[in-house]
Amino acid sequence: MLKMEPAATSAAEFFERTQARLNFDVPPGLVDPNIIPKSGDQGTDRMLEIIAREQPVRPAAVLIPVVDHPQPTVLLTQRSAHLNEHAGQIAFPGGKIDVTDASPLDAALREAYEEVGLKREFIEPIGYLDLYGTGFGFRILPTVARVKPGFKLRINEGEVDDAFEVPLAFLMNPANHQIHSKEFRGMERSYYAMPYAERYIWGATAGILRVLYERIFLP
């Protein structure tokens, strides 16, 4: 049976907490290779230091679309199986920040429309979450947003195989935050996984969801 945490993830409380704790200040580490995003895991932090020396920084933005149902959900995508990077993985709508994007927020909104057809008129951006670094050199800046129900999606099959919603209560319940590990150049690094039904949510997506939990629900 799925473990739920009902009281802490009502729509009203979640959005109130999020608006109080987030803002739209862009962290300098988004583009500065000398600033390493901290993960809280020693092995991962060491990996990010090595990657920053070996690869150029790749600024990226994603949208965390929290759908404002009475029991809110998070809209996620499953990336197309033929993509060169992260094929078939569960992800947030998003991608690399283009030079034509006015801001990371603008990039996240553009990508959400291009990937799944989520129109801006349904999206109320709330603020940026913490910067998240990956082993591929990406510096991901997530935008948390309230999404009004009633939208109709249009899946871009060149990038996305599917889009689906997962209860926020499940994702924000630490009992569902599994910790797995793998080796990177002789160092052990941990990562989060949040399996839900037949979906395996892990890696950067699960890591960002864990950061969301820590920022919004921990003191």
Task: Give me the residue spans of the domains in the chain.
Answer: 21-217
Mind giving me the DSSP string for 149-218? TT------TTTEEEEEEEEHHHHT-GGG-EEEEEEETTEEEEEEE--BTTB--BHHHHHHHHHHHHHHH-
Classify residue 65 as exposed, middle or buried by CB count within 10 Å of its CB (0-12, 13-18, 19+). Answer: buried
State the CATH architecture for 21-217: Alpha-Beta Complex (3.90)
Q: Which of 45, 27, 42 is nearest to 134 (CA)?
A: 45
Instruction: Determine the pLDDT at residue 5.
Output: 45
Q: What is the pLDDT of residues 112-131, one digit of tens each?
A: 999 999 999 999 999 999 99
Q: Which helix (H) or strand (E) holds 79?
A: strand 73-79
How far, CA to CA in Å, does 83 sit from each of 79, 132, 177, 203? Answer: 8, 22, 27, 17
For residue 10, give every residue at least 6 positions away whose Cβ sits within 8 Å of its Cβ, in sequence order, or none.
71, 72
Kindly state the average pLDDT of the residues 79-93.
74
137-195 pLDDT, tens digit per residue, is 999 999 999 999 999 999 998 889 999 999 999 999 999 999 998 877 777 778 999 99
pTM (predicted TM-score): 0.92
CA distances from 127 to 19, 65, 68, 212 (A): 7, 12, 16, 11
Dump pLDDT digits (tens) for 26-79: 999 999 999 999 887 788 888 889 988 888 999 999 999 999 999 999 999 998
Element (H, E) at 117: none
